[in-house]
């Protein structure tokens, strides 16, 4: 850099002076280089100047092999910290000004890749020593230095080349994430968590060895549980601290990152274990509570960004075993009220509405299961009792959801008094006639086939007779069809073999619910209400008076 008279500019003079001083390795001069240098995207001289102080590993210094007792013995570590800050600032300028394939960014990446092993050793030693010797209130300085350095150089234009052995880098990041070095320091804890989440997300996006290094965490039960438990603690701390716009955005980013992580994990062989650990360590519940915080925030956030908790339903379906249990766990974490509030408070934005409606329609498909409808009912009851009364959304998807929930929440006593259940043995009446048994209450309680769980019988005799006559030939295929339709979120015809007369059955059920006399109990075969629900049903089920007007069909 020269001026028009041919001499160096003032900025170049300052740069030259700072670089010359920094070559001495004195910590004050290195810090001055970090904070006063006129950084430029194409100028990597500061990096060249300090890299020499990072090429020798910590254990090469005799004093650092043991706990240093004075400032002189700590000089190598302090010098390394100052050098890392210089590199960080250079990377910040390069990242902000250049494209990923710019020669300068490539040069910086090459320098870092060549020296990454020694850089990583300094990062690790800095944290280990600080955790042993520093007072808790000062721990935030080295923790944030390391966390921000790792996150800065794990994203383009520097990734994926620079991190060398990804496993070692991810191992250090995991130690920071799990609070190994910062017990009792909440400031460092919250800020470093966001940086480490960014690093993990960057590695997942890079895939290859970087993504595999993150995925490897979840192959180890101890590491995986610690990771998910830490997320619950991190998101809770961010949730508590979210007052300013910046903190609100951090909370939103941590939520988005969690969904991003879970999507990757749902395609792995350890997915069922990951879900179990998430539920056991309160990860899903903490995540859900933080969404409620953002729903109440004065900063408006597009509802589709909050409603993406609904993605967890599809992820739960990746493992066919225990799908209903997983959905119930989501509902106990208030999934349904979140979708309801997103739909109720969203602006008139068609893309957002489509997303939220899709999740609510997806959840509606599970209301047929009593465990699911009970969990939704309890969740809404608590929500409506703890939040101000508000007009529900005028939306057909919400009306269908509420209608289906209402019908599925009918008490067992009312259901048994109202529904007509027919034995699935095709020779039911003939068998009872031969045995001298009259029809009536003989269909209660229903017996379900333990193999396929798709047909029902009034008695042990009818079940045995139907097995010998027909069901032994169809049981396995019925079970496979049930799993396939459940995976596709489709209704399955419980009872009444091959769904014969389903339309008539459905009509008769609705007529019965309105109080009409249908005659003898064996006058019609019943499939069960799971064929669907009427378009509109209102009830006083756990909602404020402004939201219902008794129980009726339209």
What confidence tens digit (pLDDT) does each residue in 107-165 have?
888 888 889 989 999 999 888 888 777 777 777 788 888 888 988 888 777 766 566 66
Residue listed under structure tokens 């006058």: 523
pTM reported for the whole predicted model:
0.73
Instruction: Report how far residue 202's alpha carbon sits from residue 170's, in angstroms, rounded to the nearest whole number.
Output: 11
β-pair partners for 437? none
Most confident option among 162-176, 247-261, 411-425: 247-261
Instruction: Report how far residue 360's alpha carbon sits from residue 486's, in angstroms, rounded to the nearest whole number.
Output: 17
Rg (Cα) of the chain, in Å, rounded?
Answer: 32
346: pLDDT strictly greater than 80: yes
**If you average pLDDT over every residue of the chain, what do you get?**
79
Nearest to 158 by CA among 149, 170, 171, 167: 149
Instruction: Report how far residue 498's alpha carbon sits from residue 507's, in angstroms, rounded to the nearest whole number.
Output: 18
What confidence tens digit (pLDDT) does each residue in 500-537 have?
444 454 455 555 555 555 554 444 433 333 334 433 43
Domain map of the chain by residue range?
1-217, 420-527
- What angle do the packed helices 166-177 and 103-133 form, to 10 degrees? 50
- At 99, the pLDDT band (50, 70, 90 cuts) reads low
74: pLDDT strictly greater than 60: yes
Residues 6 or more apart in contact with residue 56 via CB below 8 angstroms = 118
- What is the pLDDT at residue 513? 54
Instruction: Report how far residue 340's alpha carbon sits from residue 338's, in angstroms, rounded to the nearest whole number.
Output: 5
Element (H, E) at 139: none
β-pair partners for 448? 456
Residues 6 or more apart in contact with residue 348 via CB below 8 angstroms = none
What confidence tens digit (pLDDT) does each residue in 177-191 have?
988 876 556 666 778
Whether 414 contacts 547, CB under 8 Å? no
What confidence tens digit (pLDDT) does each residue in 258-312 have?
999 999 999 999 999 999 999 999 999 999 999 999 998 888 888 888 999 999 9
Element (H, E) at 107: helix 103-133
Cβ atoms within 10 Å of 220's Cβ, excluding its own: 12
Query: Given the DSSP bridges, would you call strands 447-448 and 537-538 parallel, antiparallel or unpaired?
Result: unpaired
484: pLDDT strictly greater than 90: no
Whether 368 contacts 408, CB under 8 Å? yes
In sequence order, which ranges of 242-364 are alpha helices (DSSP H)?
Answer: 245-265, 271-280, 283-295, 303-307, 311-316, 323-332, 335-345, 350-364
Residues 6 or more apart in contact with residue 269 via CB below 8 angstroms = none
Element (H, E) at 55: none
β-pair partners for 296? none
Ramachandran bin of 6, using left for φ above 0, alpha for ψ from -120 to 50, beta for the remaining angles? left
469: pLDDT strictly greater than 60: yes
Task: Please tell me which residue, 23 or 403, carries the higher pLDDT value.
Answer: 23
């Amino acid at each position: 850099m020269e001026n028009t008279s041919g001499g160096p500019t003032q900025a170049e003079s300052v740069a030259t002076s700072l670089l010359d001083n920094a070559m001495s390795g004195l910590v004050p001069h290195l810090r001055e280089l970090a904070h006063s240098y006129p950084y430029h995207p194409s100028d990597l001289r500061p990096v060249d100047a300090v890299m020499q102080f990072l090429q020798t590993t910590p254990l090469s210094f005799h004093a650092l092999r043991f706990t240093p007792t004075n400032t002189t013995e700590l000089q190598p570590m302090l010098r390394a910290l100052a050098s890392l800050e210089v590199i960080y600032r250079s990377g910040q300028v390069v990242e902000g000004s250049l494209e990923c394939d710019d020669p300068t960014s490539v040069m910086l990446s090459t320098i870092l890749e060549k020296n990454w092993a020694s850089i990583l050793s300094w990062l690790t030693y800095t944290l280990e020593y600080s955790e042993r010797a520093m007072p808790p209130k000062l721990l935030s300085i080295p923790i944030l230095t390391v966390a921000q350095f790792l996150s800065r150089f794990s994203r383009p234009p520097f990734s994926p080349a620079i991190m060398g052995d990804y496993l070692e880098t991810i191992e250090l990041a995991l130690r920071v994430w799990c609070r190994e070095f910062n017990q009792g320091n909440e400031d460092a804890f919250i800020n470093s968590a966001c940086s480490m989440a960014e690093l993990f997300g960057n590695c997942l996006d890079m895939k290859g060895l970087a993504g595999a290094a993150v995925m490897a965490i979840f192959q180890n039960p101890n590491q995986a549980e610690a990771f998910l438990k830490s997320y619950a603690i991190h998101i809770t701390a961010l949730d508590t601290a979210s007052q300013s716009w910046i903190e609100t955005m951090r909370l939103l980013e941590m939520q988005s990152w969690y969904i991003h992580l879970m999507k990757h994990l749902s395609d792995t062989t350890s997915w069922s274990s990951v879900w179990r650990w998430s539920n056991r360590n309160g990860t899903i519940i903490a995540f859900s509570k933080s969404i409620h915080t953002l729903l109440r925030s004065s900063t408006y956030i597009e509802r589709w960004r909050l409603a993406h908790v609904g993605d967890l339903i599809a992820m739960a379906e990746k493992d066919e075993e225990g799908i209903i249990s997983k959905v119930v766990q989501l509902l106990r974490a208030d999934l349904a009220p979140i979708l309801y509030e997103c739909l109720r408070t969203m602006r008139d934005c068609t893309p957002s509405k489509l997303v939220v409606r899709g999740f609510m329609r997806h959840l509606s498909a599970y209301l047929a299961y009593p465990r699911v409808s009970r969990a939704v009912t309890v969740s809404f009851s608590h929500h409506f009792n703890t939040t101000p009364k508000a007009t529900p959304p005028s939306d057909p998807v919400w009306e269908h959801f509420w209608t289906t929930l209402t019908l599925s929440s009918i008490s067992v006593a009312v259901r048994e008094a109202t529904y007509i259940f027919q034995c699935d043995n095709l020779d039911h009446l003939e068998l009872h006639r031969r045995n001298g048994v009259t029809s009536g209450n003989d269909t209660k309680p229903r017996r379900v086939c333990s193999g396929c769980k798709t047909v029902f019988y009034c008695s042990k005799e009818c079940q045995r007779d139907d097995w010998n006559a027909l069901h032994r030939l169809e049981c396995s295929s019925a079970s496979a069809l049930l799993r396939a339709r459940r995976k596709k979120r489709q209704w399955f015809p419980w009872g009444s073999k091959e769904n014969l007369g389903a339309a008539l059955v459905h009509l008769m059920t609705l007529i019965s619910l309105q109080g009409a006399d249908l005659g003898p109990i064996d006058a019609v075969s019943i499939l069960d209400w799971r064929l669907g629900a009427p378009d509109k049903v209102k009830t006083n089920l756990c909602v404020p008076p402004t939201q219902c007007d008794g129980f009726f069909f339209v």
